[in-house]
Structure 1
Amino acid sequence: MTDNREETESPTVTVPVKKSRNVLLAVDGSKGCKKAFDWYLENMWRSSDLVLLVHVFNPPTLPSYSFSTPGTGLVVPAAYQQLVEEAQKQAREIIDGYETVLKSSKVPYRTIVHSGDTGETICAIAEVENADAIVVGCRGLGVIRRTFLGSVSDYVLHHVHIPVTVVPGKQK
């Protein structure tokens, strides 16, 4: 009996190459950010990810009292510099806790600490660093408080063009 079937090549299966991702984790000292950080590590992290650990602090405001040189109204630079250094120290303390976890988990990361408006700065860093995704926590403010205080997660969600994961801080 003759076999009339033609030999054909096996279909080629393409296995996608694991692309590394730059995932921006916006952190501060809140429980909501800690929850978002933990959620990312447990649910979203890939071994090929580079974590961009970002902390944004608001620069100290220039005081309009007692730090000025009498009669001039000028702020004494040393006093303002002390306020800036204190803000940077607090930022470093916040970052240190997250870095410890990332190091012990052998997660590749880079730390970025910046001052400015939190939402705007996170969006700008995401663009400059070519972030593929952003993970932020949410404090769970009510509608009225969110209207007056603003929401960093809401701002980020509406001003970037990459996926944003908002991890709620409060359980209902």
Structure 2
Amino acid sequence: MTLDKPDMSNFRVIVLLAVDDTEYSEYAFNWYRDFVHRPENFLVLLHCTEHDNQELRDASPGRTKTMIVELTERMRFIEDKFGQLMQRSGISGRIQRGGGKPGEAIIKAAVEEGASMIVTGTRGLGKIKRTFLGSVSDYVAHHSPVPVIICRKTCKSSE
């Protein structure tokens, strides 16, 4: 699928915002909208489909079909949700799909799009979980050629 790039010559700042189907991404979008967005900005929302190619290769034809349907539905949900958020907020931009390891895909897309900054959420994993699972936001912060804003959603304690 080839996506035509819209004419962005009228925009001074291109912002890449990484999204998925979690509350952390919605928080990052809302934070960007409330504190960073300017009318001249162009927002590229990137969502990555991380899947295990080995699992797809090893799966039966029926399971492979199910996995593809689930992945397609998830992508459609993300695109619909964030497309509506952009429209309601009056934000100019587009949604782009990326593939592979999310951190690498985010950096690659930022370079290809000529982004001035990257905005991403974080799940707030502890040190041990980050060590074993890896952290997309850590990877992006350490490998990005442009400034990165990491939006951390904090939990409010109930009093």
Normalising by the residue count of structure 1, what TM-score does the alignment of the two structures yield?
0.77
1:88 is displaced (CA, Å) by 2.1
Trace 1:23-34 onto structure 2 (pairs within 5 A): 23-34=15-26
SS in 2 for 1:55: strand
Q: How many residues align?
A: 145
Asked if 1:167 corresponds to 2:155, the answer is no
- Change beyond 3 A, Cα 1:19–1:94: closer
Matched residues, percent identical?
A: 35
**Residue in 1 aligned with 2:56?**
62
Of Structure 1 and Structure 2, the greater helix share is in 2
1:19 is displaced (CA, Å) by 6.0
1:143 is displaced (CA, Å) by 0.3
The separation in 1 between residues aligned to 2:85 and 2:99, in whole angstroms, is: 24
1:66-102 Cα shifts (integer Å, max 9, x gaps): x1xxxxxxxx4x7534422421221110121111011
**Residue in 2 aligned with 1:132?**
116
Q: What is the aligned-residue RMSD (CA, Å)?
A: 1.9
Gaps of 5+ in 1: 1-17, 68-75
Contact 1:32 1:170 in 2 (8 A): no
1:136-159 Cα shifts (integer Å, max 9, x gaps): 001111000010010000000011
The separation in 1 between residues aligned to 2:21 and 2:63, in whole angstroms, is: 25
Normalising by the residue count of structure 2, what TM-score does the alignment of the two structures yield?
0.83
Moved over 3 A (4+): none
